[in-house]
Every structure is written in structure tokens, then in C-alpha cells.
Amino acid sequence: MPTENDHKRRAIFFDRDGVINTRIVGGYVRQWSELQLTPEIASVLREVKRRDFLAIIITNQRGVGLGLMSEADLESIHTNLQSLLLRESGAVFDDIFTATDIDDSNGRRKPAPAMLFEAAQKWNIDLRQSWMVGDSTSDIEAGKRAGTKTAFLITDNTEDIPEATAILKDLSELLPLI
């Protein structure tokens, strides 16, 4: 007898800054001209989509809450990001979840797992068969709390390496694991 699980999808959840685009240390990507793709994201996204995973961005964007940029600025950056990825990789992210709050009081910002649960509900995702990929301990924490597998990406800014399902020296190391 078919169960709800038969129709569940697998997803790769991507943190944005540091994974999809270069992180601006101590600051925010406030406009499109400041966004630079990381070297491997286009090929990794293409392959993730080819293997029939959902690809979903899960990002804290406190710059909006702090008034450094507007919701419209953020949306415009993401529209441009999707267009660029379509040109570079022939694929786009299926969805983008953002937490713009400045603090953790409403429980959506990572390390809270709230955005992962929202995505799972909306897209009927099996979290246990999914991965959260990020360059911060808060990404890994959010993944663990949501019940996903976790991949920590080491960057030039890495200080502490958390315990995760996998530690990646570059993003393409994810592909043999999924």
C-alpha cells in the first residue's frame, strides 16, 4: 500500500554566503554587483538537479533586519542570482528561504531548524534523506536539529570545524556522497 513516504523528495539545502557566493567578511552582500559566485556552485547545482534532488537555499540575511538593505534589494539579488545560474549551469534553485530577523527571538534564524521544516512541509521532503550544506556551525546545527545529513564546507574563513556527516574541502566533494 502506498504511503506518504513514497512521494517524498530528497533535497540539498544550501547555505548562501560562503557556499553559493563568496562571503563578505564582517559585512553583507547588499547589491548584485557585490555578489561573486563560488567556483564550483554552477557545476554542483547542475549535478544535484540532474540527480533529481531539490536544491533549496536556506539563508540568514540579517542585513535586511538591520536596515542595511531592503527586502526588495534582497529579492533583486536572488532574481539575478537565479538568472546567472541558469546561464552558467542550466539550472536554478527550486526555492529560497530567508530569515531577515536580527536576533533569534522568533526562532527562524539558523541555527533554528525552522526554515528547513518550512521547506520540508512545502515540498514534501524526506529530511533524513536530505543534506544541509554550510560553512558555519549554525548551518550544521540547523541541519542536525532538522534531522538531515550535514556537510561542512571549509573556507578561508573557517575557524572551528564542527562535527558533521561530512567535511568538505571543496563543494564538489559533496557529489560522491549523495
17 part of the interface to Mg ion, by CB under 5 A:
yes
* Residues 88-127: x where in contact with Mg ion by CB under 5 A, - otherwise, as a string: ----------------------------------------
Q: Is 141 in the site for Mg ion (CB under 5 A)?
A: no
CA–CA gap between residue 111 and residue 148 (Å, rounded): 13
Nearest approach, Cβ of residue 153 and Mg ion (Å): 8
User: Using the rule CB under 5 A, is 135 a contact of Mg ion?
Assistant: yes
Q: Which stretch binds Mg ion (CB under 5 A): 8-16, 40-48, 73-81, 90-98?
A: 8-16
Catalytic residues: 15, 17
Choices 16-24, 27-35, 94-102, 155-163 (CB under 5 A): range interacting with Mg ion? 16-24
Stretch that binds Mg ion, among 10-18, 34-42, 72-80, 95-103 (CB under 5 A): 10-18
Cα separation, 114 vs 13, whole angstroms = 13
Binding footprint of Mg ion on the chain (CB under 5 A)? 15, 17-18, 135-136
